[in-house]
Amino acid sequence: MSNSLRKTVSLALLLCIGAAIFACGSSIEGTYANDAVGIVVELKSGGHAIFTSSLGDNDACTYKVDGSKLTLECRHDKVVFIIHDDGSLTAPFFGTLRKSKK
Protein backbone atom coordinates (compact mmCIF):
# COMPACT_ATOMS: atom_id res chain seq x y z
CA MET A 1 0.00 0.00 0.00
CA SER A 2 1.40 3.38 -0.92
CA ASN A 3 2.16 5.97 1.74
CA SER A 4 -0.52 8.33 0.37
CA LEU A 5 -3.18 5.63 0.48
CA ARG A 6 -2.21 4.71 4.06
CA LYS A 7 -2.60 8.32 5.16
CA THR A 8 -6.00 8.56 3.48
CA VAL A 9 -7.23 5.33 5.06
CA SER A 10 -5.86 6.36 8.47
CA LEU A 11 -7.55 9.75 8.25
CA ALA A 12 -10.87 8.17 7.24
CA LEU A 13 -10.62 5.70 10.11
CA LEU A 14 -9.90 8.48 12.62
CA LEU A 15 -12.86 10.50 11.34
CA CYS A 16 -15.17 7.49 11.69
CA ILE A 17 -13.96 6.79 15.23
CA GLY A 18 -14.36 10.47 16.16
CA ALA A 19 -17.89 10.55 14.76
CA ALA A 20 -18.81 7.39 16.67
CA ILE A 21 -17.44 8.79 19.93
CA PHE A 22 -19.28 12.08 19.39
CA ALA A 23 -22.57 10.33 18.57
CA CYS A 24 -22.35 7.90 21.48
CA GLY A 25 -20.91 10.29 24.03
CA SER A 26 -22.74 11.04 27.22
CA SER A 27 -25.67 13.32 26.62
CA ILE A 28 -27.19 15.54 29.24
CA GLU A 29 -30.61 15.02 27.67
CA GLY A 30 -32.99 12.84 29.63
CA THR A 31 -35.18 12.76 32.71
CA TYR A 32 -33.68 13.51 36.13
CA ALA A 33 -35.51 13.04 39.40
CA ASN A 34 -35.18 13.32 43.15
CA ASP A 35 -38.00 11.17 44.49
CA ALA A 36 -37.39 12.29 48.08
CA VAL A 37 -38.42 15.87 47.27
CA GLY A 38 -40.67 15.09 44.28
CA ILE A 39 -38.71 17.06 41.70
CA VAL A 40 -38.43 15.97 38.04
CA VAL A 41 -36.49 17.78 35.31
CA GLU A 42 -36.72 16.60 31.72
CA LEU A 43 -33.91 17.98 29.54
CA LYS A 44 -34.74 17.90 25.84
CA SER A 45 -32.78 18.71 22.71
CA GLY A 46 -32.31 22.31 21.70
CA GLY A 47 -32.03 23.56 25.28
CA HIS A 48 -35.70 22.96 26.13
CA ALA A 49 -36.77 21.49 29.47
CA ILE A 50 -39.80 20.67 31.57
CA PHE A 51 -39.69 21.12 35.34
CA THR A 52 -42.23 19.23 37.44
CA SER A 53 -42.59 20.28 41.07
CA SER A 54 -43.66 18.17 44.02
CA LEU A 55 -47.14 19.69 43.59
CA GLY A 56 -47.35 18.29 40.05
CA ASP A 57 -47.03 21.67 38.33
CA ASN A 58 -45.22 21.56 34.97
CA ASP A 59 -43.21 24.54 33.74
CA ALA A 60 -41.69 24.98 30.31
CA CYS A 61 -38.05 25.95 30.80
CA THR A 62 -34.76 26.35 28.99
CA TYR A 63 -31.29 25.19 29.96
CA LYS A 64 -27.68 25.82 29.07
CA VAL A 65 -24.61 23.76 29.85
CA ASP A 66 -21.28 25.43 30.54
CA GLY A 67 -18.61 22.93 31.52
CA SER A 68 -19.80 21.18 34.66
CA LYS A 69 -22.66 23.62 35.28
CA LEU A 70 -26.21 23.42 33.99
CA THR A 71 -28.36 26.52 34.30
CA LEU A 72 -32.11 25.86 34.26
CA GLU A 73 -34.32 28.90 33.64
CA CYS A 74 -38.04 28.64 34.31
CA ARG A 75 -40.11 31.79 33.95
CA HIS A 76 -37.79 34.31 35.62
CA ASP A 77 -36.09 31.92 38.04
CA LYS A 78 -32.67 30.41 37.44
CA VAL A 79 -31.18 27.38 39.17
CA VAL A 80 -27.57 26.33 38.65
CA PHE A 81 -26.92 22.60 38.91
CA ILE A 82 -23.51 20.98 39.17
CA ILE A 83 -23.05 18.09 36.72
CA HIS A 84 -21.14 15.29 38.42
CA ASP A 85 -18.96 12.62 36.81
CA ASP A 86 -21.61 9.97 37.55
CA GLY A 87 -24.17 12.00 35.54
CA SER A 88 -26.17 13.23 38.53
CA LEU A 89 -27.14 16.87 39.05
CA THR A 90 -27.14 18.77 42.35
CA ALA A 91 -28.40 22.18 43.38
CA PRO A 92 -29.28 23.81 46.70
CA PHE A 93 -32.83 22.95 47.86
CA PHE A 94 -33.16 20.34 45.07
CA GLY A 95 -30.64 17.81 46.38
CA THR A 96 -29.32 15.21 43.96
CA LEU A 97 -31.25 14.44 40.80
CA ARG A 98 -30.39 11.15 39.10
CA LYS A 99 -30.99 10.30 35.48
CA SER A 100 -33.77 7.79 34.87
CA LYS A 101 -32.93 4.58 33.02
CA LYS A 102 -36.03 4.89 30.81
Dist. CA 52–CA 27, nearest whole Å:
21
Dist. CA 83–CA 69, nearest whole Å:
6
pLDDT of residue 19: 37
Domains in the chain, number:
1
Residue 4: pLDDT band (50, 70, 90) is: low
Query: Within a 10 A sphere around the Cβ of 91, how many other Cβ atoms?
Result: 19
Mean pLDDT of 4-21: 42
Asked if residue 74 belongs to a domain, the reply is yes
Asked if residue 76 belongs to a domain, the reply is yes
Convert the pLDDT of each residue in 50-98 to its tens digit.
999 999 899 999 999 999 999 999 998 999 999 999 999 999 999 999 9
pLDDT of residue 22: 38
Asked if residue 95 belongs to a domain, the reply is yes
pLDDT of residue 77: 94
* Residue range(s) defining the domain that contains residue 81: 27-99
Asked if residue 42 belongs to a domain, the reply is yes
Residue 84's CATH number: 2.40.128
0.75 exceeded by the pTM?
A: no
